[in-house]
Structure 1
Amino acid sequence: MEFLETIRDFTETGGQVLLVIGFLIFVMWLLILERVLYTFIGHRQFKKECIAQWNARSDKSSWYAEQIRQKVISQLTMRFSQSIPVIQALVALCPLLGLMGTVTGMIEVFDSMAMLGSGNARAMASGVSKATIPTMAGMVGALSGVFASTWLARKAKVEKTHIEDVISLDHEG
């Protein structure tokens, strides 16, 4: 219960944009965790099936066999990097939403200055916190997602190279 009150207080301090940023980060990390689980669990099995299917072929040197090889490599690559572009888009959206929170917070600062004058520090502090907290939240979400999405993209590239090597070795032999 206390945890929910802390989240509510933090959201009130940073404004409604924090809810959107929080939801965005939650979805981004769900996709990242799904890709990590697929990397370590599901992909190995699918890769073994594709390699076994390729090894079961008698014809590995014709033009048609090369097209099937390219199809297998493409299927593995597409399946491995399925959500990575969405994750990268969510990473890019985090700081943009943080900037939107900055703008809305500064608008509140200017409104309080217009209504109460520039001498009311308490009213200005509320708007300044609504301006800085969403920016911080957006940057933290983006930084955490950048590391994960970079790792996933690099892993997908390495995996594509690996499968090309495995199938081409069989192709040449």
Structure 2
Amino acid sequence: MPMLESLLVPYRQFDEFLDLGGWVVGWIVLCALVMWTLVLERSWFLLRIYPQLRNDCVREWREREERTSWTAQRIRTAMVSELRLAMESGLPIIRVMVPMSPLLGLLGTVVGMLQVFDAMTAARSADTRAMADGISHAMIATMAGLVVSLLGLFCAHLLGSRVKLETAKLNDLLDAAP
């Protein structure tokens, strides 16, 4: 039984965090889960799947007999664009989650402050315990939204830079093909 208790500690701490932050933190966590799922999927694609697609594209270009005509160059441009679009898939959703997280945190701040004002109105005085609960909701929601947003911003920039770099490399590979 002690082992089960120790395994449940992270779950209990997470559940306590959700309770302290209010219902908005649940939406921020959902936003973070969607964002991290996409970040991991895009990372997997760029590390494992894209190299094979790039190699297939380069092989197909090198197997072409004619590579200098206007038509051949348009085909080359289409090949590069197709792979770039495959690499960028999912990035727009990650970029939407970045500003959405702090906005949800702001919503949590407003909800928490409304709880403070409701507590003050109900008690007809400044009940510090009730006010502290509302302020706790407000600050935890704000913090959670900002943390998710900052991490998402970093990942979106990292993935976007990698897409630009890989697109430039692909252009070079197809130009240099003898």
* TM-score normalised by structure 1 residue count: 0.95
Look up the match of 1:123: 130
Alignment match of 1:17 (pick from 18, 21, 24):
24
Look up the match of 2:55: 48
Q: Percent identity?
A: 36
Farther off after superposition, 89-98 or 109-118: 109-118
Look up the match of 2:15: 8
Whichever residue aligns with residue 23 of structure 2, its letter is Q
Whichever residue aligns with residue 26 of structure 1, its letter is L
Off by >4 Å, runs of 4+ in structure 1: none
Whichever residue aligns with residue 107 of structure 1, its letter is L
Q: Once the 2 structures are TM-superposed, how far is the Cα of residue 3 of structure 1 from its aligned partner?
A: 2.6
Asked if residue 29 in structure 1 is aligned to residue 36 in structure 2, the reply is yes
Distance in 2, Cα, partners of 1:113 & 1:69: 68
Distance in 2, Cα, partners of 1:70 & 1:136: 44
Alignment match of 1:140 (pick from 133, 147, 151):
147
Q: Once the 2 structures are TM-superposed, how far is the Cα of residue 8 of structure 1 from its aligned partner?
A: 1.9
Look up the match of 1:81: 88
Distance in 2, Cα, partners of 1:118 & 1:110: 10
Look up the match of 2:160: 153
Q: Once the 2 structures are TM-superposed, how far is the Cα of residue 7 of structure 1 from its aligned partner?
A: 1.9
Q: Once the 2 structures are TM-superposed, how far is the Cα of residue 118 of structure 1 from its aligned partner?
A: 3.6
Q: Once the 2 structures are TM-superposed, how far is the Cα of residue 109 of structure 1 from its aligned partner?
A: 0.6
Look up the match of 1:112: 119
Q: Once the 2 structures are TM-superposed, how far is the Cα of residue 163 of structure 1 from its aligned partner?
A: 0.8
Look up the match of 2:70: 63
Look up the match of 2:170: 163
Deviations 1:29-72 (A, max 9, x none): 01001111111111100000000001110010111101100110
Whichever residue aligns with residue 27 of structure 1, its letter is V
Matched positions, count:
171
Distance in 1, Cα, partners of 2:94 & 2:146: 15
Farther off after superposition, 132-141 or 1-10: 1-10
Asked if residue 93 in structure 1 is aligned to residue 100 in structure 2, the reply is yes
Whichever residue aligns with residue 47 of structure 2, its letter is F
Distance in 2, Cα, partners of 1:88 & 1:116: 43
Q: Which runs of 5+ in 1 are unaligned?
A: none
Whichever residue aligns with residue 106 of structure 1, its letter is M
Distance in 2, Cα, partners of 1:120 & 1:106: 14
